[in-house]
């Protein structure tokens, strides 16, 4: 890995970590999700990065892929468990991190299950380590806390402008033959649940990415397509494009044309609560955890 590439991965991860930790002070009961999303994404830009995807603010049985829409009126309640999943890029080099915030002690154990699984997995991210071993540690740790790992959600590799690449970091043991190599960049993200241990697509998609280009009929859709191309294939959401009736119609036209990939909201199949913890790691003899500020403390 070239030094410039390394430095950008580290900067993106550090920005993501700072924003994640800052968010803990304003993710509070009664706060609108839309306000939280705007604060997080504005902070990313102020620190010199750009969002690698719309911040995911998934509540309770929602595991991933919920981000506020324009005029969203959802607010946090005292019984909620919220996953704050933040992606930052610097010239396409990505830092991806997440934490779970709860407001009741009854959720402490399930939050800790995901956090402990991440803590035990990260030191294993070294050259020559079989990914299956990491998956096994994640599974065993979550089960030791009395919960289930979410079997069909995974961590993933990161590449420039690509938020999901090889290798896949499963949260349960599978027959997956991949051995980590030096300078692989991976996002390790355990998910724990008190439910059945699986997720399903649920509800309309609010996050999208561009997968190709086709002629589109309306002038508004053509203009929107130009705006979307500026994201370089990375995920986006409607509120990044505007909140007018025309925006909604243009987005509808692009969805119907088949040139957008849609990310449905993912929910636990038995409505179980889901928690998440995530770090980005550069695979080296001593793993470089770009989203752990303690790794770079003076």
Catalytic residue among 61, 62, 80, 85: 85
**Is 62 annotated in the active site?**
no
Say whether 109 sits in a helix, a strand or coil: helix
pTM, two decimal places: 0.95
Q: Which of 80, 278, 279, 292 is catalytic?
A: 278
**Per-residue DSSP letters for 193-234?**
ESS-S-EEE-S---EEEE------SSHHHHHHHHHHHTTTT-
Q: What are the structure tokens assigned to 120, written together?
A: 């035990």
Q: For 234-281, what is each residue's pLDDT tens digit?
A: 999 999 997 777 788 899 899 988 899 999 999 999 999 999 999 999
Q: Of residues 80, 189, 194, 238, which has the active-site annotation?
A: 189
Spell out the residues 6+ positions from residue 69 whose beta carbon is closer than 8 angstroms to its own: 206, 237, 238, 239
Pull the structure tokens for residue 19.
Answer: 């924003």
Q: Is the peptide bond before 97 cis (omega within 30 degrees of 0)?
A: no
Residues 281, 4: Cα–Cα separation, whole Å: 17
| Sign of the C-alpha dihedral computed for residues 24, 42, 16 and 58 taken in this order | positive
Print burial letters for 215-252: b (CB count within 10 Å at least 16), e (below 16). ebeeebbeebbeebeebeebbbbbbebeeeeebbebbe
pLDDT of residue 47: 97
Q: Which domains does the chain have, with CATH numbers?
A: 3-203+264-296 (3.90.230.10), 207-263 (1.10.10.10)
Question: Among 107, 156, 170, 279, which one carries the catalytic annotation?
Answer: 156
Q: Which residues of 139-163 are buried (b: 16+ CB within 10 A; e: fewer)?
A: bebbbebebbbbbebbbbbbeeebb
* Annotated catalytic residue 133: no
pLDDT of residue 297: 66
Residue with tokens 């509800």: 203
Dihedral sign from CA coordinates of 116, 165, 159, 198: negative
Out of 133, 164, 227, 262, which one is annotated catalytic? 164
Q: Which residues pair with 87 in a beta bridge?
A: 96
Active-site option among 41, 61, 80, 96 = 96
Position 182 scores a pLDDT of 98
Could you confirm whether 278 is annotated as catalytic? Answer: yes
Is 65 noted as a catalytic residue in this protein? no
Q: How far, in Å, CA of 138 to CA of 134, rounded?
A: 6
**Residue 173 token pair:** 């043991």
Q: What is the DSSP letter of 66?
A: -
pLDDT of 247 reads: 84
Residue 96 annotated as catalytic: yes
Q: Residue 298's pLDDT is what?
A: 53
pLDDT of residue 217: 78
| Residue spans of the chain under pLDDT 70 | 297-298
**Active site includes 5?**
no
């Amino acid at each position: 890995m070239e030094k410039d590439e390394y430095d950008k991965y580290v900067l993106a991860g550090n920005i993501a970590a700072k924003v994640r930790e800052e968010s803990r002070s304003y993710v509070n009961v009664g706060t609108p999700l839309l306000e939280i999303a705007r604060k997080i994404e504005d902070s990313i830009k102020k620190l010199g990065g750009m969002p690698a995807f719309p911040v995911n603010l998934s509540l309770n049985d929602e595991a991933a892929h919920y981000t506020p829409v324009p005029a969203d009126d959802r607010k946090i309640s005292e019984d909620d468990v919220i996953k704050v999943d933040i992606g930052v890029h610097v010239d396409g080099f990505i830092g991806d991190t997440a934490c779970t915030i709860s407001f009741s002690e009854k959720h402490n154990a399930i939050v800790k299950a995901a956090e402990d699984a991440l803590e035990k997995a990260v030191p294993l991210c070294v050259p020559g380590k079989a990914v299956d071993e990491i998956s096994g540690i994640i599974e065993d740790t979550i089960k030791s806390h009395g919960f289930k790992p979410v079997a069909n959600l995974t961590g993933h590799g990161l590449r420039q402008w690509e938020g999901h690449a090889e290798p896949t970091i499963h949260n349960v043991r599978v027959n997956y033959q991949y051995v980590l190599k030096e300078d692989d960049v991976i996002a390790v993200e355990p998910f724990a649940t008190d439910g059945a241990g699986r997720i399903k697509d649920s509800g309309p998609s609010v996050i999208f990415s561009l997968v190709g280009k086709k002629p589109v009929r309306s002038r508004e859709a053509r203009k929107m397509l130009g705006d979307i191309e500026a994201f370089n294939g990375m995920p986006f959401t409607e509120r990044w494009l505007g909140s007018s009736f025309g925006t909604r119609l243009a987005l509808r036209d692009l969805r119907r044309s088949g040139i957008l990939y849609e990310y449905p909201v993912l929910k636990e199949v038995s409505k179980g609560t889901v928690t998440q913890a995530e770090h980005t790691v550069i695979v080296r003899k001593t793993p470089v955890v770009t989203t752990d500020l303690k790794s770079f403390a003076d």
